[in-house]
């Protein structure tokens, strides 16, 4: 509480003196727009979907406050226009920002889209193409549900999760130690997701389901948008981008899997919606040099991470974003603080900046086919936009 009070007081001083551009580390927002990332939108965070990572939730009321604050400080623009500014082709006199949503949850369509449409604000949604229209949970939702259930059993929660990690025979031994050291299910889930590839996560889910004696099958609480909803959004002017085929963390996967995730997703979205897909958001901000090069080879013009740092060699494919949620700008008593949001936007003291975009394990070795050959093979197999 004391730390939050001090942070809010400092943010208020910065905001009142309009000194955020002097003390913050953010670049020129006229040339490099501020890109905001959200995930889920709920009516009430306290009675919202259970077993969801808290940092993925924002209420409609708080989202509207964020949007209104952004409109007061920035020109809210589309991702295409933001990309043009990042490329240096356009620059305005007023700072700009763009709003994005990851994962394609149905609640974004039900609650955020009407709000943004009413206010005339453009936005983008990054969808996991193989999961469109599904009621099944994303892998990160499944992992957190199971880990949280085990932690609720008492002091043996971390031990039960660690036992499941051991039984899943993961190739990253430090995950076992890091899980044992976790104090809560959020920390345990983040450490698991930051280290394991998609195949290891799938094995781990089976072990966790056995330990928790519950299933993580379909649930309407975690429903995802279907293709008709996405088509309606595209017709209304929203940008539809890729979030991979399965939400695999790209820095953990083999080069062929990365290409399958990136190229396959773009072609599938284009086939269903009939619109070009130029934008990709790396799931959980996980990327490395190979993933970025394969994103370019897969036809994307712009790629987005979840931190404040861009690759100086491929800046348009590593555009920084900031993840916002319900408590991003919450003061000591939970009230919305525009001053805290100001400090977030201008990187004052690096609030909230993390950089998950670098590989945390060795990429699996394999003979890499040339991206152009892989693209031709996909088209030959009938995967056409």
What pLDDT does residue 49 have?
63
Is residue 380 pLDDT above 70, yes or no? no
Q: Please state, rounded to an integer, the average pLDDT across all residues of the chain.
A: 83
What's the rounded mean pLDDT across residues 14-24?
67
List, for residues 256-281, the tens digit of each pLDDT value.
999 999 999 999 999 999 999 999 99
Q: Which CATH architecture has domain 2-135+224-380?
A: Alpha-Beta Barrel (3.20)
76-80, long-range: CB < 8 A, 24+ apart: 76/121, 76/122, 77/33, 77/122, 78/122, 78/124, 78/237, 78/239, 79/35, 79/124, 79/239, 79/241, 79/279, 79/302, 80/239, 80/278
Look up residue 86 and give its two tokens: 């990042």
43: nearest Cα among 69, 67, 63: 63
Please tell me which residue, 104 or 26, carries the higher pLDDT value. Answer: 104
What's the rounded mean pLDDT across residues 315-329?
91
pLDDT band at 371, cuts 50/70/90?
A: very low
Is residue 177 pLDDT above 50, yes or no? yes
List, for residues 346-355, the tens digit of each pLDDT value.
878 664 445 5
List, for residues 45-103, the tens digit of each pLDDT value.
666 566 788 899 999 999 999 999 999 989 999 999 998 888 877 767 788 999 999 99
What pLDDT does residue 254 have?
93
Q: Which residue has the tokens 């939730």?
A: 57
Is residue 249 pLDDT above 60, yes or no? yes
What pLDDT does residue 286 have?
87
What pLDDT does residue 364 have?
53
pLDDT band at 381, cuts 50/70/90?
A: very low
Sign of CA dihedral 334, 53, 103, 225: negative
Please tell me which residue, 18 or 123, carries the higher pLDDT value. Answer: 123
What's the rounded mean pLDDT across residues 195-213?
90
What pLDDT does residue 226 have?
97
């Amino acid at each position: 509480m004391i730390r939050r009070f001090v942070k809010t007081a400092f943010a208020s001083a910065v905001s009142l003196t309009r000194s955020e551009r002097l003390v913050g580390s953010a670049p020129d927002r006229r040339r490099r727009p501020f890109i905001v990332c959200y995930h889920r939108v709920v009516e009430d965070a306290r009675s919202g979907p259970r077993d969801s990572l808290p940092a993925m939730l924002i209420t409609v009321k708080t989202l509207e406050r964020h949007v209104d604050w952004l409109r007061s400080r920035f020109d809210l623009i589309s991702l295409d226009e933001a990309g043009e500014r990042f490329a240096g082709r356009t620059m305005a006199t007023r700072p700009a920002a763009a709003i994005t949503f990851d994962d394609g949850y149905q609640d974004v369509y039900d609650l955020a889209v009407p709000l943004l449409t009413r206010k005339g604000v453009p936005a983008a949604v990054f969808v996991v193409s193989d999961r469109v229209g599904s009621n099944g949970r994303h892998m990160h939702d499944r992992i957190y549900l199971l880990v949280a259930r085990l932690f609720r059993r008492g002091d043996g929660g971390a031990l039960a999760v660690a036992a499941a990690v051991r039984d899943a025979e993961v190739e990253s031994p430090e995950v076992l130690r890091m899980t044992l050291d976790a104090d809560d299910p959020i920390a345990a889930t983040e450490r698991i997701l930051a280290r394991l590839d998609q195949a290891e996560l799938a094995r781990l889910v089976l072990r966790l389901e056995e330990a928790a004696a519950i299933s993580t099958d379909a649930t309407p609480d975690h429903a995802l948008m279907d293709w008709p909803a996405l088509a309606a959004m595209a017709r209304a002017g929203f940008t539809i981008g890729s979030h991979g085929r399965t939400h695999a963390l790209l820095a953990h996967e083999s080069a062929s899997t990365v290409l399958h995730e990136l190229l396959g997703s773009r072609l599938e979205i284009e086939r269903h919606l009939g619109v070009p897909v130029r934008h990709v958001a790396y799931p959980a901000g996980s990327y490395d040099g190979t993933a970025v090069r394969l994103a370019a080879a897969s036809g994307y013009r712009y790629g987005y991470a979840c931190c404040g740092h861009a690759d100086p060699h491929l800046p348009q494919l590593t555009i920084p974003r900031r993840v916002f949620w319900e408590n991003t700008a919450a003061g000591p008593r939970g009230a919305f603080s525009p001053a805290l949001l100001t400090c977030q936007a201008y990187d004052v003291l690096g609030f909230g900046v993390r950089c998950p975009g670098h590989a945390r394990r060795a990429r699996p070795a394999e003979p890499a086919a040339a991206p152009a050959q892989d693209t031709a093979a996909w088209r030959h197999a009938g995967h056409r936009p």
